[in-house]
Amino acid sequence: MERIFVGVAWPYANGSLHLGTLAGCLLPGDIFGRYHRMKGNAVLMVSGSDEHGTPITLTAEKEGVTPKEIVDRYHKEHKENLEQLGIQFENFTRTSNEFHKNVVKKFFLKLYEKGYIYPKKMRAFYCQNCSRFLPDRYVEGICPYCHGKARGDQCEECGATLEPEEILEPKCKICGAEPILKETEHLFFKLSAFEEKLLDWLKDKNFWRDNVINFTLNFIKSGLKDRAITRDIEWGVEVPIEGYENKRIY
């Protein structure tokens, strides 16, 4: 008997499930899990509601309710939908529960102690009209590479990861005003330290599909950049070190 882990992408708890989510990740995972259960293997199929981040807070602000009200509503709805569809998880959890928060903080502290997380000052979008920093989806603009629609951290069309300074014609998602760039300090994850290790790890992955392995190799070989893993936002997992009480792990 084999032990099979099936990790399914976590849908954001900011709206109802749609056919793209069902076809893209839920059904393939369910089919794979069912196949191995039928073979008599021990299957652990895991997913849950992604309840943190700007998609949640933006929805809450639009409706005039708290982020907790949004995630409670859609987590309940998602679970009911999955049961109606007959999709079986050994564990369908949520990122707002205390167990998840404690695990995140434990990983964070371990990486921080090893020097893989470090503080760095950066410039981020700030809306003078709203008197707030604008993380990720709070900013919309144009991608400098494909000229498609982009948000604060990436292009939705070509998938490029973006720095705030790169976005063309930025606008505040809340009020529509043009934001300024303002200095703020965040904690960064040293992705660049893992580039060679990841390339070595990929060498024997000949069972991966060609398009998957090629996409992964191209992404890594283009150079992994250290990324900010905290945001100027109130909803999320608290940073477990002093001096970052107003930031959240993202």
The total number of structural domains in the chain stands at 2
Residue 145 in this model has a pLDDT that exceeds 90: yes
Q: Write the CA distances from 149 to 55, 62, 137, 141, 160, integer angstroms.
A: 16, 21, 12, 6, 11
Asked whether residue 85 falls in the same domain as residue 109, the answer is no
C-alpha distances (whole Å) from 175 to each of 115, 168, 169 are: 39, 17, 14
CATH of the domain at 58: 3.40.50.620
Q: Over 90: is that where the pLDDT of 53 sits?
A: no
Could you tell me if 88 and 111 lie in one domain?
A: no
pLDDT at 164: 80
Q: Residue 160 has what pLDDT?
A: 83
Please identify which residue in the block is written with the tokens 């954001």: 12
pLDDT of 156 above 90: no
Residue 134 within any structural domain of the chain: yes
Task: Return the pLDDT at 153.
Answer: 80
Q: How high is the mean pLDDT of the chain?
A: 94
Percent pLDDT > 90 in the chain is 84
78 and 119 fall within a common domain: no
Q: Which residue did the predictor score with more confidence, 5 or 157? A: 5
Distance CA 149, CA 158 (A): 9
Q: What is the CATH number of the domain that holds 186?
A: 2.170.220.10
Among 51, 79, 96, where does a domain finish? 96
| 164 shares a domain with 182 | yes
- Choosing from 96, 127, 153, the residue where a domain stops is 96
Mean pLDDT for 91-116 is 97
Using alpha carbons, list the distances in angstroms from residue 5 to 33, 42, 43. Answer: 9, 9, 6
Domain boundary among 96, 116, 132: 96
188-219 confidence digits (pLDDT tens): 999 999 999 999 999 999 999 999 999 999 99
Nearest to 192 by CA among 106, 118, 249, 109: 118
* Same domain, yes or no: 30 and 71: yes
pLDDT grade for 47, boundaries at 50, 70 and 90:
very high
For residue 194, give both structure tokens: 């893992």
Full domain range(s) for residue 240 = 102-190+226-249
Q: With cut-offs at 50, 70 and 90, classify the pLDDT of residue 136.
A: confident
